[in-house]
Every structure is written in structure tokens, then in C-alpha cells.
Amino acid sequence: MNMQIKGHTVRGKVLDEETRCAHYHSEIDRIAIKFYCCGTYYPCYECHEEDGCGNPDVWPTEMFGEKAVLCGACGYELTVSEYLTCGSKCLTCSALFNPGCSLHKNLYFQT
């Protein structure tokens, strides 16, 4: 499934315009991650497993300056570095992100 969110295509089981999905849908679940392997935004690793490229790969540290995280509240694209240091809050609109996502960062970013 594809959904246009703030001018960006997000794939997976997206439920709403802030990128919540069938797997993660609390009030603060409002980011999508551009997967390094396919350059496509998904709300979570489970959506990518179900609908992705079938060849998961993480963002290498030398590419942490690339835009890879979409704020579902305002559409701002954070770089990997910005996301990892933002304190679970959008740098543009201050919408809160789920701090629990850091438990899965190894699935998205080289650690």
C-alpha cells in the first residue's frame, strides 16, 4: 500500500496522515523511515518486512547526514544525525516522537 503524506510516498500498512501503521499507532508514533536499501519510506521495520525490497540494509554512519526520517506531523525530513540527537521531538514543529523507537535503531542505522 502507498499513501501520500505531506508530499512524500510512504509504503506499508499506513493508517493515517501522520504515518501511524498497523504495528505502531500510538499518539506519538508519527515518523516514517527511509530505508537505505530501497530508498523508500516505511512507518516501521515490520511494514518493510511485509512490503519492502526483501533485502534490508541499514544506513552506514558515513551517510548520517542524509535525510532519512519523515515527521508525520509537519513533513520535515530529518537527517539520520538530526533524528538520533533530536530528543524524540521534531526540530521544526516540536511534535513528539516515540522514544521507544530507539530500541530498534539497529534495524535502521549502523550502530
Full pLDDT tens readout for the chain, 111 residues: 899 999 999 999 999 999 999 999 999 999 999 999 999 999 999 999 999 999 999 999 999 999 999 999 999 999 999 999 999 999 999 999 999 998 999 999 998
Cβ contact 66:31 at 8 Å: no
In this prediction the pTM is 0.96
- Would you call 80 helix, strand, or coil by DSSP? helix
Cβ contact 13:23 at 8 Å: yes
